[in-house]
Chains A and B, each alone.
Chain A
């Protein structure tokens, strides 16, 4: 069965501190992984996907197939990073069903 696990419901850091939001997945096929973000009073939106290997708003995420992980990292957190972050796995071929984790709320304090 496909599953995405985000072990932390809440991650609280101070501005300027490094951030790592953990994501582990379970999938027998070739994984396609994403991070989605939801800022307060806004809709869910894509932050980044593993294939693009880009840095968005200072965030990066590396797919580690050996550890079945796709952790989201940022070296210096900003207050505007405070949001709900969801890790998601696309199953089947193509970009069809997304399986989401339960989400991690990131709070960045001044």
Chain B
């Protein structure tokens, strides 16, 4: 499967614990996005990377959230001191922007479902 992959697919944690999710984008894609989706809502933008640079962060991304994309390949999203309100599906997407063949399409991964008890 050459699509976007995310690990783990499901995570159950206790309030106050730290969790880390991983996203592997499509290999040649230079942009990577993180979204959060809660029940009954559409995905909400969290942050995105152009190669290894984090170019924009949503106000939804509190100080407890941090994202990295070392070497411009895979990305990690860490949530510290989890709260019940963090329970959601965390989606990763990637796209190819720029020459020679730019793509407007964001390709989504299957998501990581986080449950905070």
Which A residues lie at the B interface, using CB under 8 A?
4, 9, 32, 43-46, 49, 51, 86, 88, 94-103
Contacts and interface: CB of A to CB of B under 8 A. Distances in A.
A43 B108 CA distance: 7
Given A43-B109, A49-B104, A95-B104, A102 B42 contact: yes
B43 A100 contact: yes
A86 B42 contact: yes
Interface string B78-117: 0000000000000100010100000011111111000000
Contact of A99 (B4, B45, B91): B45
A39 B34 CA distance: 21
Interface string B1-29: 00110000000000000000000000000
Contact of A102 (B40, B105, B106): B40
A3 B9 CA distance: 29
Contacts of A45: 107-108
Given A95-B95, A98-B43, A102-B42, A46 B48 contact: no
A97 B45 contact: yes
A103 B45 contact: no
